[in-house]
Structure 1
Amino acid sequence: MESLSPNIFVNDINQTISFYELLGFKVTMSVPETGTDLVWAMMTNGSVIMMFQTYDSLGEDLPDIQRTDGGSLLLYINLKNIRAFFEEIKEKVTVLKGLETTFYGATEFSIKDNNGYVLTFAEHDA
Structure 2
Amino acid sequence: MESLSPNIYVHDMNNTIAFYRILGFSPVMTVPENGENPVWAMMKNGNVTLMFESFKSIEGRLPEISRTDGGSLLLYINVKDIRGLFASIKDKVTVLSGLEKTFYGATEFVIKDCNGYVLSFAEHE
Where 1:17 maps in the other structure, the secondary structure is helix
User: Is 1:118 matched with 2:118?
Assistant: yes
Unaligned 5+ runs, structure 2 = none
User: Is 1:42 matched with 2:45?
Assistant: no
Instruction: Give the aligned residue type for 1:62.
Output: L
- TM (norm. structure 2) is 0.97
Rounded to whole Å, the distance in 2 between the matches of 1:76 and 1:61 is 29
- How many residue pairs get aligned? The number is 125
- The more displaced of 46-55 and 60-69 is 60-69
Rounded to whole Å, the distance in 2 between the matches of 1:23 and 1:39 is 21
User: Is 1:95 matched with 2:95?
Assistant: yes
Deviations along 1:101-126, whole A, 9 cap, x unmatched? 0000000000000000000000002x
Where 1:91 maps in the other structure, the secondary structure is coil
Where 2:57 maps in the other structure, the secondary structure is helix
What displacement does 1:59 show? 1.7
Partners of 1:55 and 1:67 within 8 A in 2: no
Rounded to whole Å, the distance in 1 between the matches of 2:20 and 2:113 is 8
Tell me what 2:69 maps to. Answer: 69
Unaligned 5+ runs, structure 1 = none
What displacement does 1:67 show? 3.8
Rounded to whole Å, the distance in 2 between the matches of 1:67 and 1:11 is 11
Rounded to whole Å, the distance in 1 between the matches of 2:106 and 2:60 is 42
Superposition RMSD on alpha carbons, in Å? Answer: 0.8
Identity over aligned residues, as a percent?
66
Runs of 4+ in 1 over 2 A off after TM superposition: none
